[in-house]
Amino acid sequence: MCLTTTEWILLGTTLFLGVTALFVPFISEWIKRGLFAPKLKIEFSFAPPYCHKTTWKPTNDPVYYFRFMVKNEGKSQARHCEVVLEELWTMDASGIYQQEKNFSPVNLRWVGLAEQFININPKRRLFCDIGHLSHPNFQANQRSPDFQLSGGQDPEDLKFFFDLQIFFFSQMGYLTKGNHKIKICVYSENAKQICKEFFIFWTGTWKDKEPEQFRELVISTK
């Protein structure tokens, strides 16, 4: 059976509309993700307000906090964002970083927030804590599970504590003096994963003045 020109046009139009109806939602989502997707970025500077001295409440003991910023430079909200301390390395005597093989990824804390997952609006900036160094007297009086020691660590050593959502008994939640490297990643339901490496050099020494302490404990990125 031969189709007339009109019938061919009608058939072609029907097929075109059918294919268009099938693929329009996918094309629309692709355009939305490409042009209006959230875009996360990690920023850090070894200076206030990223790194600064403050005090514990209510004891008023001094403490140094170190944190970074997560920004949403996209055009839509980044949903269910979480920050994870993924990996940990420590430099050996030969100057080579050795990865802690049994280190399990664990969440870091958003500054001022108890939630593990948060939404970040476009142009919004939020801080996340890396860790803190509290005064030797304050550390000496602590007996919480957060201060559990791993083998080979001197209990008198000062500790740089990661600010974690939870502390695992199976691994250290802190660093002692030395050269260390950590990998931090930010995950989101609808934004691309981003990661950054932080290098932490610490002499193990406490100084009361901020400029002096920031020569004893230095954090940098690449």
In this predicted structure, what is the pLDDT of residue 1? Answer: 58
Is the pTM value of this prediction over 0.85?
no
Looking at residue 72, its amino acid is N
In this predicted structure, what is the pLDDT of residue 16? Answer: 67
- Which tens digit of pLDDT belongs to each residue from 104-147? 999 999 999 999 999 999 999 999 999 999 999 888 876 554 54
The token pair at 119 is 């939404």
Q: Are 25 and 49 contained in the same domain? A: no
- Which tens digit of pLDDT belongs to each residue from 143-170? 554 544 444 455 568 999 999 998 887 7
Q: Are 131 and 214 contained in the same domain? A: yes
Q: Are 11 and 60 contained in the same domain? A: no
First to last CA, the chain: 71
Backbone phi, psi, residue 35, to 5°: -95, -30
Give the domain CATH number at 123. 2.60.40.10
Q: Kindly tell me the burial class for residue 27, based on how many C-beta atoms sit within 10 Å of its own C-beta (0-12, 13-18, 19 or more).
A: exposed
Mean pLDDT of the region 200-215: 96
In this predicted structure, what is the pLDDT of residue 151? Answer: 42
Q: Are 122 and 184 contained in the same domain? A: yes
In a domain, 2, yes or no: no
Which domain range does residue 118 map to?
39-221
The token pair at 14 is 């029907």
In this predicted structure, what is the pLDDT of residue 13? Answer: 74
